[in-house]
Every structure is written in structure tokens, then in C-alpha cells.
Amino acid sequence: MNGHPQHEEDFDLYALGVLEGEEKQALEAHIAVCAACAAKSAEARGRVSLLALASKPIAPPAVVKSRLMEQVRAESSPARAREESRTTERAGGLFGRWTWAWAAAAAVLALATGFLWYQNVKEQEKIQQALREATATELKIQNAQKLIAILQAPDSVMISMASSDSSQVTGKVCYNARLGKLACSTHLPAAPSDKSYQLWLVPMAGNPVSAGLIAPNMISTDDMWMTDVKAGMAAKAFAVTLEPAGGMPQPTGPKVLVGLAPQAVTFSNPKGKIQAYSIHATAWGVASGSTPNWPVHARESSENMR
């Protein structure tokens, strides 16, 4: 294979472990040099790993955890282990005075060596951790910046979505047609296991366009998430429907949330832009010029922006 695999499922078949011979070697060789395919392979590995969940859930016996923690404790403190061993020897009184003195010297040396080794490992770990923290912080800042870019763009519009059945079920979308980006947060009950919530952009003309599944909110319904849609679509409304798991190309299920988009606003001058943003932002509880006070991502952003 000189180029990309012909079929996307090849990555899944590779992750499943069924490829063999030349087929497998060719894909491995390609993944090693193609970052895009390596990324697809990582995604396929994730999808295939989920097959583990098709096993009958069995809780492990508590003794496994005790053994693991004992093993870890014994390894993580070599200095402590040496100290304990030295104490035992002393208490045993097996050595004469000089033997004991040498043993003590050897123990001190061993302790010092152990300590230095431990320090070295700790330093290495600290460096690794600092690097990891820096990367994680950078990612958080990038995410926060993307979110703020959508929220602060003067031509972004805020849409509140509501349910006809319950005032507890709500959602908000911040949409920028020019950028083709939107940020969304929803309060929704957990979807049944065979269903997914799907967000739709209803354009001024034509069929609804999927803006993705609301999967990241399976746990925390307060999470803010972002997604891209085709740029330049004027939105009439946004809606969330309950669809078969994995989503549908067009809405088929009941509308859970609906929100009408404000009519297109023409900004004639820079002041107008700011005022318009301010009105929308205030309506959504965001003070203009300050960091948005939202849960999760917004919290990350406020921490990083300080």
C-alpha cells in the first residue's frame, strides 16, 4: 500500500487485530509515516476498545485492590523499606559490636544511595509533570480562546432553547454564521441507552443541518461544547431532537428543545456591534468585556485568563 487505505474500516479491522500478512504490514508501514492515518487509527482503536463493554459486568474481588496497593506501597518507598529492614536487624541482636558498626555504615550508605536515587527519580518526575501541566494548560487556553472567539464575535447570536414540556429542560446556543461555529450548553435528562440527543441548525431555506450529537453532556449537562458547521448559513432556529443512537442525517425523533434565532442584525457601525453583543451577552448572563462565567470550560478559561 503506497497511499491511504481505500476503506476507512481498515483502521477498525487493524485495531480488531484481524488483518494479517502483507495487508497488515502495509497498513502499519503507512500509519508510521502518515499523521492523518495515525490519528484515524487512534480513533478506530478507541471505537474497537469499546467492544470490551459487550462483556457481562463482573466486579473484581476486593483482594485484588489490596494486593495492588501493597505492591505499590512497597515499591514507592525504597528508603522506608531499607529503614524497616535495618531496625529489624538491630532488634534481632545478631551482630557483634563491630559487625553492627559496619552494618550500620553500610545501611547509612544504602540509605544515602537510596535517597539520592529517590531524589533523582522525583526530580525527573517533577520535570515530566511540569511539562505535562504546561501542555494541558496550553490546551485549556486554546479551548478557552476558541470559545471566547465565538462568544465575543460581534456577529454571533445567542439563542435560548426551551422545551414545551418542562422548564427544567433548557439549552443555549451561541452561533456565528460567518465563522460556521457554534457553542452550546444544555440541561437535558440522560438519553435512553439506544438514543442520542442531536442538535440541528434549521436554515432560512432548506432542510435542517446536523450540528452534532450532544454526547459530551452525557455526564455533566452543564458542559459547554463547541462544534463547526458549514460557514455562511443563516439560521432560522435551533432544535434538539431525540434520535436513534449515533444520530440521523435528518431529524426523525421528537423535538426536545427548540429556539428561534433572532432575525439577522445589520451592524452599521462599530458601536452598534458592541451594543448588540452586549444585549445578547447580558441576556445570557455574560457581562461584556469580562470572562464568561460558565461551568467547566468557562471555569478553565477564567483560571487561565487570570
- Which residues inside 268-297 make contact with other proteins, applying CB under 8 A? 293-296
Are the C-beta atoms of residues 147 and 226 closer than 8 Å to each other?
yes
CA angle at residue 20 from 15 to 21, to 5 degrees?
140
Of 187, 263, 260, 179, the C-alpha closest to 227 is 179
CB-wise, 19 or 81, nearer to other proteins? 19
DSSP string, 113-155: HHHHHHHHHHHHHHHHHHHHHHHHHHHHHHHHHHHHHHHH-TT
Q: Does 36 interact with other proteins (rule: CB under 8 A)?
A: no
CB-wise, 14 or 277, nearer to other proteins? 14
Span from 52-60, 90-98, 155-163, 168-176 in contact with other proteins (CB under 8 A): 52-60
Least Å distance between CB 135 and other proteins?
6
Q: Does 61 interact with other proteins (rule: CB under 8 A)?
A: yes
SS (H, E, C) 79-96: HHHHHHHHHHHHHHCCCC
Are the C-beta atoms of residues 200 and 213 closer than 8 Å to each other?
no
- 72-111: which residues touch other proteins (CB under 8 A)? 72-73, 75-76
Least Å distance between CB 249 and other proteins?
11
- 220-239: which residues touch other proteins (CB under 8 A)? 220-222
Cell 445570557, residue located: 284
CB-wise, 16 or 111, nearer to other proteins? 16
Cell 437535558, residue located: 188
- 144-203: which residues touch other proteins (CB under 8 A)? 190-191, 193-194, 196
Q: Which of 25, 49, 250, 252 is close enough to bind other proteins by CB under 8 A?
A: 49
Q: In the chain, what's the furthest Cα-to-Cα distance?
A: 97
CB-wise, 75 or 165, nearer to other proteins? 75
- Map residues 124-143 to x or -, x wherever contact with other proteins holds by CB under 8 A: -x--xx--xx-xx--x----
